[in-house]
Structure 1
């Protein structure tokens, strides 16, 4: 690339107009909520502000000072002025000196990151303000060469997007496969052939029937199950001394030393618990919620905030506690726990819960709904067969997902390599 080193300020001019909060609110202009990493501007209406705002006019280049190198920049094409917080900056540009789409490509390239690191020292770890941005000196080729580079990168981007969309489709298919496996598991389809050739002891199932703990009314049975299974309320499968409950209501300030890990909904993922970013509470607070101090083997389920997380507590988490957005389900028979996890992460459970939450502004799962939730329960021996099959099939899904994730990483590396080559001076 034959180019001339120029300061960005030689072809961009910052739009310095600022509005005080009162003035911005009176004008009632649409506001930039975010610029995503694909360069799409998202606007919101009637959102008041308590801080100063910048003005953005038609044709301006708008960049996010925090995420510009990730692609959070765009040319605003609307006819009416909009406003944005001071974490953004807006620029008019000289069309005789710069092709704005060429510049957008450059700002997403390793060359821009390198220029930041070399000339400012701060790199992209801190917010990029207009003063720092405009002072950067970067290689700029002739206008014709800018357009040529842009055209070549656009062609590559089409192929990159096609691959990315295909990989996204594969990820979605893997998720559908997981759902299908779990649905087959709790309908008895994974063990159809096994049941035909097996005689097994259903003593435990008979015990539930004899104690009238199962659901006998067909109207309350969500779907047909094998005749050796029963429908039973979840509450009839838990340790009644502890019961289904939620944890700490107010966690308080996190202690600087020691403390007890208290899991939140962000720590409970799909079929697993991840304490990488878990926070702690004081021993005093934890002791006020003794019933939810974990022993290991409980099922945890997100009941507020981000729903869908559900996992079994590993023995290593014994002594930890949970926050109020998590429901604790202490299954009384440990042999049932892995199977119950399959039910609570299945499409059946998700659909039933979603129906109960429909129309509720703040999504939160009522514990009574959970206690009365109908569980399709096979005999213990069949549960083991189902769990084994699900684990094998889920492991296959995990392997497929890892391949897709690795392909995504390689595709992104290729994009960065192409950008690096395009802007090599």
Structure 2
């Protein structure tokens, strides 16, 4: 391979000649960073019984995700206990790296409202000692780079029990451009991160608005223009609803057909698609993971064949990341056959607008699941109990109008989600260029 002028070949690939390759240990020995530390091991490691509702944040690997340190959903320990621990005292500005179980998640500790945060043995902090040689933002982005992550995973063994201790972390390679170039690289990536964060926050805002709108419209607390004139509200067994709405039960109006447990020996490379639990996500079917059955199975199992606009529901593990796994089949999803513990909702009368039914069911079944799903490791929906559930139902024209409002909201959110993924992809491309020195930035 020809090496361009001004570049050199290293263990991290071809990089600019004026960049330095060193180990984490060399950064420590040269007083560029402090000695990396994680939390306390052994008997003095805080236990579950030590957790309190407020105190010093106690950071585990799952507290770090998507470049964010989640201080709202972490555990806390008393300051008196934390003060008596020996190590793992992390401060604002530290770069955090998860190194046990989940290996390779990275963040920077931002503003904190306690003297420090306490790390578990799952997380290491990296602290700048000489700010004239290195910046914490550059450390963070280099740790997130594809090359470093690949090396990190190789060092940690991979799998669910992956682990890389402090001693092994010190052997990891690090690339050190001139400080001004570090800052320029970090600033460029930070600008993209700021845009990603802004889009993500907007998506969260739009989702919250949609949830509030669903709550108002699907219960009749708010009526759309042209509906409800001259009607008041009535008290019912499920609460107050508009006078012109009815109460319906799942038992009398809906039925759920569940699929069969086809064996892997029956799978083919081509044929009719098999709709499994992992294919069902909120609002749509995802075919990233796909299995096929012989084509003639569609004729053998006609009652299990999915048609366009069918509403599908995951009966096992029905909620993922706070979202109910319920979808509407599109033309591109068919033909497909139901696998076991995936349900197809059958309407026993014609009073439902399909799109409205999707939003109605996604709201009320989610509530039902949260209240009464059976099981803990893999909770599942008991269709027998579900049939006892009762819900309010507006006239058909109002259903259609409500469905259109919510569909438009979903389309806006989907557009923002695509924009978010586009910028995340852009960031990955920028990191690949900037952190290898393939593209150089002008700096003073």
Residue 207 (structure 1) aligns with: none
Distance 1:156 1:397, change over 3 A: closer
TM-score (norm 2): 0.58
Residues 355-366 of structure 1 aligned to structure 2 (within 5 Å): 355-357=371-373, 360=376, 362-366=378-382
Offset at residue 169 of structure 1 (A): 2.5
Counterpart selection for 1:323 from 327, 339, 353: 339
SS at match of 2:270: coil
Residue 292 (structure 1) aligns with: 304
* Matched length: 359
1:172 aligns with 2:204: yes
Unaligned runs of 5+ in 1: 14-26, 43-56, 117-122, 199-216
Residue 388 (structure 1) aligns with: 404
Question: Does the aligned pair in 1 maintain the 2:99–2:122 contact within 8 Å?
Answer: no
Offset at residue 324 of structure 1 (A): 2.6
1:38 aligns with 2:67: yes
Distance 1:12 1:64, change over 3 A: farther
Offset at residue 150 of structure 1 (A): 6.1
1:226-261 CA-to-partner distances (Å, cap 9, x unmatched) read: x222111123223xxxx4132223543573433432
1:341 aligns with 2:358: yes
Partner Cα separation in structure 2 for residue 81 and residue 318 of structure 1:
48
Partner Cα separation in structure 1 for residue 331 and residue 19 of structure 2:
63
Question: Does the aligned pair in 2 maintain the 1:11–1:94 contact within 8 Å?
Answer: no
Question: Does the aligned pair in 1 maintain the 2:238–2:391 contact within 8 Å?
Answer: no
Offset at residue 195 of structure 1 (A): 3.8
Partner Cα separation in structure 1 for residue 418 and residue 96 of structure 2:
38
Residue 191 (structure 1) aligns with: 224
Residue 351 (structure 1) aligns with: 367
Residues 127-142 of structure 1 aligned to structure 2 (within 5 Å): 127-129=153-155, 140=176
Counterpart selection for 1:11 from 10, 19, 26: 26
SS at match of 1:330: strand
Offset at residue 9 of structure 1 (A): 8.3
Partner Cα separation in structure 1 for residue 393 and residue 120 of structure 2:
61
Counterpart selection for 1:309 from 309, 315, 325: 325
1:187-229 CA-to-partner distances (Å, cap 9, x unmatched) read: 333435334289xxxxxxxxxxxxxxxxxx966324423x222
1:309-365 CA-to-partner distances (Å, cap 9, x unmatched) read: 21222355444222333221112446622221120123x442343122388554211
Distance 1:2 1:310, change over 3 A: same
1:29-52 CA-to-partner distances (Å, cap 9, x unmatched) read: 98x86775638799xxxxxxxxxx
Going by fraction, where is strand more abundant, 1 or 2?
A: 2
Residue 238 (structure 2) aligns with: 221
Question: Does the aligned pair in 1 maintain the 2:142–2:435 contact within 8 Å?
Answer: no
Offset at residue 129 of structure 1 (A): 4.3
Residues 231-250 of structure 1 aligned to structure 2 (within 5 Å): 231-238=247-254, 243-249=255-261
SS at match of 1:372: coil
Question: Does the aligned pair in 2 maintain the 1:29–1:83 contact within 8 Å?
Answer: no
Q: Which segment is superposed worse, 153-162 or 267-276?
A: 153-162
SS at match of 2:306: coil
TM-score (norm 1): 0.60
Residue 3 (structure 2) aligns with: none
Question: Does the aligned pair in 2 maintain the 1:255–1:281 contact within 8 Å?
Answer: yes
Going by fraction, where is helix more abundant, 1 or 2?
A: 1
1:116-144 CA-to-partner distances (Å, cap 9, x unmatched) read: 8xxxxxx95995449xx999987645xxx
Distance 1:422 1:106, change over 3 A: farther
Offset at residue 300 of structure 1 (A): 0.7
Partner Cα separation in structure 2 for residue 39 and residue 250 of structure 1:
41
Distance 1:61 1:175, change over 3 A: closer
Offset at residue 180 of structure 1 (A): 2.4
Distance 1:296 1:125, change over 3 A: farther
Question: Does the aligned pair in 1 maintain the 2:250–2:390 contact within 8 Å?
Answer: yes
Residue 275 (structure 1) aligns with: 287
Partner Cα separation in structure 2 for residue 165 and residue 138 of structure 1:
27
CA RMSD in angstroms comes to: 5.7
